[in-house]
Amino acid sequence: MGKLTTHVLDTMSGFPGAEIKVELFRLNGEQCEKVKTVTTNADGRTDGPILEGAAFKAGKYQLVFHVADYFTQKGVTLDNVPFLDDVVIRFGLNDEQAHYHVPLLVSPYSFSTYRGS
């Protein structure tokens, strides 16, 4: 069975992004259905797959990483309206037998992602 995992790296400090709230949504046209909310652990990863088993279905998804809260908790001074508040990554899952890994590399002013393994 397929699975979806993620991790966060704080590129400002060079450390894992611990205790970041991450939400997963399944998209169906204009509708957005929340599937799960997780928090990253001390290693910047979730304790298990975000999506797996019978819940893992092909389709369009969205991960929302609540990074402004994370940086504020780390003592980083952000603008009243942070440049990056929530980082949203939309992606497609096609192979229901595959492992999809969607990592986030983030600082208060930039982010990147890729399909990892």
Judge residue 77's burial from the number of C-beta atoms within 10 Å of its C-beta, 0-12 exposed, 13-18 middle, 19 or more buried: exposed
* pLDDT value, residue 52: 96
Helix ranges (DSSP H) in 5-79: 67-73
Output the pTM of the full model: 0.96
Report the distance separating Cα 41 and Cα 21, nearest Å. 10
pLDDT at residue number 117: 83
Digit-by-digit pLDDT tens for the chain (117 residues) are: 899 999 999 999 999 999 999 999 999 998 999 999 999 999 999 999 999 999 999 999 999 999 999 999 999 999 999 999 999 999 999 999 999 999 999 999 999 999 998
Return the beta strands (E) in 19-108 as ranges: 21-28, 31-39, 51-52, 59-66, 86-93, 99-101, 104-107
pLDDT given at position 1: 85
